[in-house]
Amino acid sequence: MENQENISVPIFTEVDRRVFLENIYPKRRPAVLRGVDLGPCVDRWTVEYLGEKGGDREVKVHVSTVAQMDFLHKNFAYRTLQFNEFVKRASETKHSDFFLCEDESYYLRSLGENVRKEPADLNKQFPDLAEDFHVPHFFEPDQFFSSVFRISSCGLQLWTHYDVMDNLLAQVTGRKRVVLYSPQDALHLYLSGDKSEVLDVDAPDLKRFPDFVKARRYECVLEPGDLLFIPALWFHNTLALQFGVGVNVFWRHLPADIYDKKDPYGNKDPVAAARALQALERALHALDELPAEYRDFYGRRMVQVIQRRTFCDDQDSDTTLPRSQFTKPG
Ligand SMILES: O=C(O)CCC(=O)C(=O)O
């Protein structure tokens, strides 16, 4: 694709808690952490072992007949399978038992016990497998939000989206390509909520999405045993280059009361942001009372005010505290 260079996500080795907290975390940029001890899972998690230890508990999985899953137009189906059967099917390319077609692909994003209320936690849903996975101690325990299985058939791609928590994505087995975009490039990603409408990040439809080329593309290929730090709000798109098993651990970046309490997925906008977005809808509704020419004029003025008051082009600025806690009023 024209005009789009890849920026490689830096790879750090010999990362311990101190190195992470001093050199990586404050930059608020993605980083691959190679060689961190993830525990015996890296050697143990074969298809057979996962099936045996994960057992026959039921999981709700995505089933897709195409490589690029599209959440906005729902080009995949949700089906329920026993975990051991799911792992077996996800690891093969042709299936004797299938839902839609014999070469369908599978994806699991594990969920909490009470899907609507509780975040996923490997320790609760898969205690025997959780023992094999050592969560890196880079964050404070009270920042922990959820730990989520990400198990994917080879070739399956997950839509570009952001989450509101910091994320350590552990690629335990299999290789995975991850493409990322900065939150500062949000305007070029054609967002619908937390997802980009641009499905094919490698060959985007530039007639529909001409500004997509302006988004700076960051890329890395995760090897088995790698951890990827995805700071909150960074967009990511994953492509399983092989059948693979990952675990992503979400951590709160901000004080707990900033987040929506009814958010088991870690992707609902913080309460203040949701309020601001609702207020914007109300403001736009008020402009509807005016003719187009006036709407245009006041719309432009509003954009300018928003830009002046919120944009912060300095990537290294301190985003660890809400703005009101470090800007002088007035
Ligand atoms: O690894 C994947 O398949 C997706 C990861 C992801 O979207 C996440 O960790 O938020």
- The answer to whether residue 247 scores a pLDDT higher than 50 is yes
**Alpha carbon distance 197, 159 (integer Å):** 9
Q: Residue 172's closest CA among 221, 222, 238?
A: 222
Instruction: Determine the pLDDT at residue 313.
Output: 76
- Among 3-12, 62-71, 126-135, 180-189, the minimum mean pLDDT is found in 3-12
pLDDT tens-digit series, residues 95-149: 999 999 999 999 999 999 888 889 999 999 999 999 999 989 999 999 999 999 9
- The answer to whether residue 320 scores a pLDDT higher than 80 is no
- Give the DSSP letter of residue 299: H
Q: Assign residue 123 a region (left: φ > 0; alpha: ψ between -120 and 50; beta: otherwise).
A: alpha
**Alpha carbon distance 275, 260 (integer Å):** 11
Q: Can you give the pTM of this predicted structure? A: 0.92
Residue pointed to by tokens 């609507």: 116
pLDDT tens-digit series, residues 150-169: 999 999 999 999 999 999 99
- Among 245-259, 267-281, 302-316, the minimum mean pLDDT is found in 302-316
- The answer to whether residue 326 scores a pLDDT higher than 50 is no
Query: Please, what is the angle between helix 47-54 and helix 83-91, to 10°?
Result: 170
- Give the DSSP letter of residue 20: I
Residues in contact with ligand 1 by the CB-under-6-Å rule are: 150, 152, 158, 163, 167, 169, 236, 238, 246, 248
Instruction: Determine the pLDDT at residue 116.
Output: 82
Dist. CA 313 → ligand 1 center (Å): 27
Dist. CA 18 → ligand 1 center (Å): 25
- The answer to whether residue 275 scores a pLDDT higher than 90 is yes
Instruction: Determine the pLDDT at residue 1.
Output: 52
Instruction: Determine the pLDDT at residue 7.
Output: 97
- For residue 284, the Cα-to-chain-centroid distance in whole angstroms is 30
Instruction: Determine the pLDDT at residue 312.
Output: 87
- Integer angstrom CA distances of residue 207 from 4, 9, 70, 160, 212: 16, 29, 19, 19, 10
* CATH topology (fold) of 6-258: Jelly Rolls (2.60.120)
Instruction: Determine the pLDDT at residue 316.
Output: 47
CA atoms within 13 A on the CB side of 296: 3
Atom 9 in ligand 1: residue holding the nearest Cα: 248
Q: Where are the beta strands (DSSP E) in the chain?
A: 6-8, 11-13, 31-34, 58-64, 76-82, 105-109, 144-152, 157-161, 166-173, 176-181, 191-192, 195-196, 217-222, 226-230, 235-240, 244-251
Instruction: Determine the pLDDT at residue 323.
Output: 45
Count CB atoms within 10 A of the CB of residue 106.
27
Instruction: Determine the pLDDT at residue 314.
Output: 60
Quote the mean pLDDT of the chain: 93
Dist. CA 256 → ligand 1 center (Å): 22
- The answer to whether residue 266 scores a pLDDT higher than 90 is no
Instruction: Determine the pLDDT at residue 117.
Output: 86
Indicate which atom in ligand 1 lies nearest the CA of residue 163: 10
Helix (H) or strand (E) holding 277: helix 271-287
Break the chain into its structural domains and give their ranges: 6-258, 271-325
- The answer to whether residue 315 scores a pLDDT higher than 60 is no
**Alpha carbon distance 139, 252 (integer Å):** 9
Dist. CA 62 → ligand 1 center (Å): 14
